[in-house]
Amino acid sequence: MLSGLVIVDKPQGWTSHDVVGRMRRIAGTRKVGHAGTLDPMATGVLVVGINKATRLLTYIVGTSKTYTATIRLGQSTVTDDAEGDVVASAGTSAVAEQAIHDGVAALTGGIQQVPSSVSAIKVNGERAYARVRSGEDVKLAARPVTIHRFEVHGIRRDTGADVIDIDVTVECSSGTYIRALARDLGNGLGVGGHLTALRRTHVGPYSLDQARTLEQLAEELDVLEMSQAARALMPNRELSAEETTEISYGRRIAAGAAPGSPGAATADHPAAAFAPDGSLVALLADSGNYAKPVLVFAPGNGNSAAAGGEA
């Protein structure tokens, strides 16, 4: 059975769910999922898992992401991006370039970010955007995120429209909203702001260079095989033949790293364990002097099992 990751270059106007539906038809299987939503306006890297590889998606969701984007200063929208109506405008002629760079610096590093009110975050069991559309004034709580890199590549003034467009690259932790960065940069400068373009270039170790359009994938399904995908995503552990047998039956083996050391694998951040032939056997977590399987990929039968029973 075909299993692996597909790095899709998501087209503008498609939801991530739309892409999953199309990939189900292309791959000929219902067992397809994605690792992190992209807004319909956005394009770029969307990691899709097929069959057994869907079990890797949970470990991809939490990885860092990189985006290129364009932020417009001088206009605020209801959605914090170009898909929403403009709700406020302010002149930008007095905004100095140094003030823009200072504002970007203030939003770099560890920050508290309030997500956009039209995000997919659930409020009492209902998506925030659905509550906004029904007329409710939604206030979301701030959450900690990390902006590893926020670089300005270009600043363009449109004197006719009295707006400023800024081209940026953002590398950030999982859970960051680039729309909210655009909003907060504009608000910090006193003129408002929103996102006009967004393209995701990296999700963890997977990049736009690996991505294929849906049209290309329909012609030739380019799948990153399970072992390759795991090698790029996680710390690697090479098993002996004896260790491979033990782990295949869900039994523990000697730890790969000393307890509490930086190299110790955990259930949230496991190591990928490989058989002598290079195939992916399991995901392992170190516990004291032993390594225990978090997830075992049973050889030959296309199934995977969580430690202690069927997945």
Retrieve residue 289's tokens: 């002097």
Q: Tell me how far apart the alpha carbons of residues 282 and 308 are, in angstroms, rounded to a whole number.
A: 13
Q: Return the closest-CA partner of residue 80 out of 112, 117, 105.
A: 117
CA distances from 70 to 120, 150, 171, 216 (A): 22, 12, 14, 27
**Nearest-angstrom CA–CA distance, 298 and 248:** 6
The CA R_g of the chain, rounded to the nearest whole Å, is 22
DSSP character string of 266-299: -SSSPEEEE-TTS-EEEEEEEETTEEEEEEEE-T
Cα(115)–Cα(91) distance, rounded to whole angstroms? 25
Token pair of 135 as six digits: 């007329």
Contact at 8 Å (CB) between 20 and 48?
Answer: yes
What are the tokens at 301?
């039968």
Assess whether 39 carries a catalytic annotation. yes
9, 39, 81, 184: which is the annotated catalytic residue?
A: 39
Is the separation of the CB atoms in 50 and 6 below 8 Å? yes
Distance separating alpha carbons of residues 260 and 106, to the nearest angstrom: 34
Query: SS3 helix, strand, coil % of the chain, rounded to 5?
Result: 25, 35, 40
Q: Active-site residue numbers?
A: 39
